[in-house]
Chain A
Amino acid sequence: MTRDAIMLNAGDTVATALRGLAAGETVQVHEGDGAIEVVLGDAIPFGHKLALVPIEPGDPVLKYGISIGRATARIEAGCHVHTHNLISDRARPVKS
């Protein structure tokens, strides 16, 4: 069985693409015994992240069951999550 994307921990809000995925594809992501189905709003390159649920600006983005930073914009389920809409919470310089 090939998988399109992998969700590392139950409850994660993103999954990692296991192949290059095209916009408009319907992707199944396994969670426990079940699966989450999302329709891709963006193309997702191999290794990149897709949102599994809608994410609001300021929300933590969860991978490995842990926050990997915060959304800087609303991210729809099935959309690409990367530097354009996700920012680190750590080592932020103080803006003067």
Chain B
Amino acid sequence: MTTFQGYHRPDGRIGIRNRLLVLSVGGLTGPACRRIAAALRDVACVVLPYEAGLIGEDKAVHDRAALGLAAHPNIGATLLIGDNPAVLAALAEGLVARKAACVVLSMDDCGNDTFALVERGLRAGAELIQTMSRQRRATAPLSALVVGLECGRSDPSSGLISNPLLGRVADRIVDAGGTAMLGETTEWLGAEHLLAARARSPQVAADIVAAVKRREQAAVDAGFDLSGRNPTPTNMASGLTTIEEKSLGSTAKSGARPIEGVLGYAEAPARPGSRRWKASRAAL
């Protein structure tokens, strides 16, 4: 397989899905966004829990995540909803720069009436879906495919069969010039030397080891034993004993190709090649 069918976005990236994103920029408009999303078909709804009061690096990460979600190639258009018009306007400007379609609705636009917000959001969302429905998939090279590698509820068979199989798939995508990303840094503990040995440069190797050390140190500093939390009691009942054992199975998802770099939370890969996405499970 050297091609796939995807949605060719104006920024040149290619998605495999064509969903409307209802994005609540902050927690205040979360319930309204969930109501809007529940009433529309094939919608992704993301409620960012924080916005007001974020400063510095927290704000930068939040903004990067919001922009990354709304400009995601699997998203055909975004309904941007929030309570701060200036924040929404800045985000919309970023989306316009990336040629991503969006409609902005703020609490202020609706007289601070959440029922009015839901009604207007429903209409705007339905119109965006109608527009998006004209888009069609077209052939794209495998080199344009970007995948995130994720498993769940590990048992010993994960490391025997499913994760090594996913690793073979990742290798094929990378061999074709595509991109694969691995997250869940905690589940690199005990396997990080294998990942570091595949790093494209000494700096990347150091970044991989540092990312794992930070997670390990956080657990040690918090004074808790990782055992029983990761691996979880379910993992352990099925036969996994230690985080090292779980990690060795988990990282098999990443295949065997060179690792190009380590990404921060909500950072997008720039060049093709196998990548590790340093992010918590919650971010995936």
Which of A's residues lie within 8 Å of B, judged by CB? 6, 8, 16-17, 45-49, 63-64, 66-69, 81-83, 86-94
Residues 254-270 of B contacting A (Cβ, < 8 Å): none
Rounded to whole angstroms, the CA-CA distance of A47 and B236 in the bound complex is: 10
Establish whether residues B238 and A47, one from each chain, have CB atoms under 8 Å apart when the complex forms. yes
Establish whether residues A83 and B239, one from each chain, have CB atoms under 8 Å apart when the complex forms. no
Establish whether residues B156 and A48, one from each chain, have CB atoms under 8 Å apart when the complex forms. yes
A interface majority secondary structure:
loop
Q: Can you give 9 A-B contacts (C-beta < 8 A)?
A: A66-B190, A68-B244, A69-B241, A69-B245, A82-B241, A86-B241, A88-B243, A90-B242, A91-B219
Instruction: Write out the residue numbers on chain B whose beta carbons fall within 8 Å of the beta carbon of A16.
Output: 156, 160, 239
Rounded to whole angstroms, the CA-CA distance of A62 and B214 in the bound complex is: 25
Residues 160-209 of B contacting A (Cβ, < 8 Å): 160, 189-191, 194
Establish whether residues A63 and B248, one from each chain, have CB atoms under 8 Å apart when the complex forms. yes
Establish whether residues B190 and A68, one from each chain, have CB atoms under 8 Å apart when the complex forms. yes
Number of B residues near A (Cβ < 8 Å) is 27
Given the known inter-chain contacts A47-B157, A66-B248, please indicate yes or no for A90 contacting B226, CB distance below 8 A. Answer: yes
Given the known inter-chain contacts A83-B241, A88-B244, please indicate yes or no for A6 contacting B189, CB distance below 8 A. Answer: no
Contact of A69 among B224, B236, B244 (CB under 8 A): B244
From residue B16, how far is it (CB to closest CB) to chain A in Å? 32
From residue A7, how far is it (CB to closest CB) to chain B in Å? 11
Given the known inter-chain contacts A63-B248, A64-B159, please indicate yes or no for A90 contacting B189, CB distance below 8 A. Answer: yes
CB nearest to A67 among chain B residues = B244
From residue B155, how far is it (CB to closest CB) to chain A in Å? 6
Instruction: Write out the residue numbers on chain A whose beta carbons fall within 8 Å of the beta carbon of B159.
Output: 64
From residue A92, how far is it (CB to closest CB) to chain B in Å? 7
CB nearest to A65 among chain B residues = B248
Instruction: Write out the residue numbers on chain A whose beta carbons fall within 8 Å of the beta carbon of B157.
Output: 47
Rounded to whole angstroms, the CA-CA distance of A71 and B24 in the bound complex is: 50
Rounded to whole angstroms, the CA-CA distance of A48 and B216 in the bound complex is: 26
Instruction: Write out the residue numbers on chain B whose beta carbons fall within 8 Å of the beta carbon of A88.
Output: 190, 226-227, 241-244
Closest CB pairs A-B (n = 6): A47-B239, A88-B242, A47-B156, A68-B245, A48-B239, A91-B226
Instruction: Write out the residue numbers on chain B whose beta carbons fall within 8 Å of the beta carbon of A90.
Output: 189-190, 216, 226, 242-244
Establish whether residues A91 and B239, one from each chain, have CB atoms under 8 Å apart when the complex forms. no
Apart from A16-B160, A47-B239, list 5 A-B contacts with CB within 8 A.
A16-B239, A48-B156, A64-B249, A88-B244, A90-B189
